[in-house]
Amino acid sequence: MNRDKLLDAARLLQALQNFADARDWQRFHTPKNLVLALTGEVGELAEIFQWKTDAEAAAIADDPAEFEHLGEEIADVLLYLVRLAQVTGVDLEHALADKLRKNAEKYPAP
Amino acid sequence: MNRDKLLDAARLLQALQNFADARDWQRFHTPKNLVLALTGEVGELAEIFQWKTDAEAAAIADDPAEFEHLGEEIADVLLYLVRLAQVTGVDLEHALADKLRKNAEKYPAP
Amino acid sequence: MNRDKLLDAARLLQALQNFADARDWQRFHTPKNLVLALTGEVGELAEIFQWKTDAEAAAIADDPAEFEHLGEEIADVLLYLVRLAQVTGVDLEHALADKLRKNAEKYPAP
Amino acid sequence: MNRDKLLDAARLLQALQNFADARDWQRFHTPKNLVLALTGEVGELAEIFQWKTDAEAAAIADDPAEFEHLGEEIADVLLYLVRLAQVTGVDLEHALADKLRKNAEKYPAP
């Protein structure tokens, strides 16, 4: 593993590949399907916060059941996002590094 | 870095924290705002594929401009998602491992 | 009712106002909350189609349970969208007419 | 037109059908594509509010450019949503009436 990496997802990518292969699911994992699935999970993430005030949202870790649910939905979104990168061949490290660089140029620190 | 981790995001988390702190942006990064921003980026991801057939979507890497744009949007979603985990205190490794375990129980391999 | 209108939503708007007022829900119906709620329902809509092929999606009306669920989710999105217009003061007829005109200019018919 | 209708969308449906037919776009308007396009527009709607406080969001009508943009994005979402109902055969009036009834049972007024 390279210690200079922003994100080392090698084992996650392997786990996702194995999971799909073992169930013959690669045929469902087209880019469009994965974006729809990702959208479904983002919807569940949004539902967690939709009626909360900012104060209630900030205190979500005080409620164990809600906090666990939040972790589940963040994980769900992340799994589909990383799987989408996997099936389309996007290199996450490269994409993240590029984006952080572009953001730093677009929004220079004072 | 721990070689047993599904996802090592330590440097990414540090970069996100530094980026926000340097610009005094933590006040904008409330959970609800981050979910809205994430939704905005998922929208841009969806737009890449909305009129493509499955065949065109599968061939996206053949078009350098489109493929770069795809990487940018995947990175944008990932940055907001990881930042959301950061501000809410969700441990990504823990959440991912839990989810993969639950998925394996819910959808056992044949 | 005006027969020249693209969309006559007067009774729907009244029903939404009455529903919220009767339950003292206007305080939850801030623009940001409504966008989050809308996102939640769009997620449920996406989930209906996420693993379907285009052929299966086109045949959704052949499955009564699925077709009813589709109607429910379309309605859910529509209710939050119209409520968002209501609380922000956006005139739907005006906005729709403007958009159709702009689209016709941007994408002229052959 | 029926004055008992919650929503009379007859002219909008006709306009959407004509617009697509005149451009031979019905082949792009599959249910999955329309849900992706809808997601894209919901993303643009979310972006309007993502860094606003609730107070700033509530005052959006005070900024003519922002308010017009809000109207455009609400219209964009609505156009794709109604078109999705059209291509799938969902009757909006029926779906809305059903949903309002179910919501009233699920959340009875005090």
Q: What does the pLDDT look like over B29-80, one tens digit per residue? A: 999 999 999 999 999 999 999 999 999 999 999 999 999 999 999 999 999 9
Residues of D in contact with C11 (CB under 8 A): 4-7
Residue D37 lies in a domain: yes
Residues of B in contact with A77 (CB under 8 A): 38, 77, 81
Q: What three-state secondary structure class fits D71?
A: helix
Nearest to B40 among D36, D37, D43 (CB): D43
CATH of the domain at B49: 1.10.287.1080
- For C29-38, write each residue's pLDDT tens digit: 999 999 999 9
Given this model, what pLDDT does residue B1 score?
46
What ipTM describes this predicted complex? Answer: 0.96
Query: Cα distance from D25 to chain C (closest Cα, Å)?
Result: 10
Residue A108 lies in a domain: no
Measured between alpha carbons, how far is A90 from B77 in angstroms, rounded to an integer? 13
Measured between alpha carbons, how far is C52 from C55 in angstroms, rounded to an integer? 8
Prediction pTM value: 0.97
Q: Contact C42/D38, CB-based, under 8 Å?
A: yes
Write out residues 40-69 of A within 8 Å (CB-CB) of D.
54
Write out residues 12-31 of B within 8 Å (CB-CB) of D.
28
Which sign does the torsion angle of CA C83, C89, C94, C99 carry?
A: negative
Query: Cα distance from B97 to chain A (closest Cα, Å)?
Result: 9
Count the domains in chain A.
Answer: 1
Half-sphere exposure of D106 (CA within 13 A, CB side): 6
Domain hosting residue D44, numbered range: 31-88
Residue A10 lies in a domain: no
Which sign does the torsion angle of CA A83, A88, A94, A97 carry?
A: negative
For the residues D69-88, what does the mean pLDDT come to? Answer: 98
What residue of C is the nearest CA neighbor of A31? C50
Residue B55 lies in a domain: yes
Q: What is the residue-averaged pLDDT of chain B?
A: 96
The answer to whether the CB of A71 falls within 8 A of the CB of B98 is yes
Q: How buried is D9 (Cβ within 10 angstroms: 0-12 exposed, 13-18 middle, 19+ buried)?
A: buried
Q: Contact A35/D32, CB-based, under 8 Å?
A: no
**Does residue C1 have a pLDDT over 70?**
no
Residue B3 lies in a domain: no
Given this model, what pLDDT does residue D22 score?
97
Residue C68 lies in a domain: yes
Residue C6 lies in a domain: no
Residue D97 lies in a domain: no
User: With left for phi above 0 and alpha for psi between -120 and 50, is residue C24 left, alpha or beta?
Assistant: left
For the residues A68-92, what does the mean pLDDT come to? Answer: 98
Which sign does the torsion angle of CA D50, D54, D58, D61 carry?
A: negative
Q: What is the residue-averaged pLDDT of chain D?
A: 96
